[in-house]
Amino acid sequence: MQFTNDDVFRLVGRICIVYATWDLFTTLVVLRLVKPTASLPKDFSRKTLGQKLRYLNRLAGDDVIDGGLLKSIGKTLPTALEVAEKRNRFVHDLWVLDSNKVSKGELTLLSIEVATTSAGRSVRLPETQLSITDLRSLDDQVLHQQQIFSKWARILGVFDRPM
């Protein structure tokens, strides 16, 4: 099958949209799960998804209205954090879209790595080789996480009553 840059754009766009919804569900879960008397980090709703997931990971049972649900959420957080970080790399690294490679489903990402030593600063641009299959796999993983957090939002009644 031949692929185009537009195929890549559509997949990345879908990942971004589903990720944003996962982020929204995570925010709503935290706002409903954490006791109203417990303090939230300043500007919590504006934090990154990774920051929100790490916050959830630090919560104790007495901080929340449902310790059992917090325990269930906690079991999935390592995978959720891994998927969130992988998505960040896909979205924030530089895409090198060579039409010849893309047509075969091959993708290249460039990262920026900065190291400071006594000799000064060095910058590297390591390449990561990926495939359309890798992108589709990430899409599936992000969608799965979004569905998990949507389920918890429903359990907490986020969609049934005002916050």
- The pLDDT assigned to 161 comes to 72
Q: Rounded to 5 degrees, what angle do the CA atoms 23, 25, 28 make?
A: 110
161 is a domain residue? no
- The pLDDT assigned to 163 comes to 64
121 is a domain residue? yes
How many structural domains is the chain composed of?
A: 1
163 is a domain residue? no
By residue range, what is the domain housing residue 66?
Answer: 5-155
In whole angstroms, give the CA distance from residue 142 to residue 30: 19
pLDDT along the chain (163 residues), means of 10: 92 96 97 93 94 96 95 97 94 89 93 90 91 96 98 94 69
123 is a domain residue? yes
162 is a domain residue? no
- The pLDDT assigned to 114 comes to 93
- The pLDDT assigned to 94 comes to 87
- The pLDDT assigned to 1 comes to 82
Name the burial class of residue 29, with classes exposed (0-12), middle (13-18) and buried (19+) by CB atoms within 10 angstroms of its CB.
Answer: buried
- The pLDDT assigned to 111 comes to 87
**pTM for this one?**
0.89
34 is a domain residue? yes
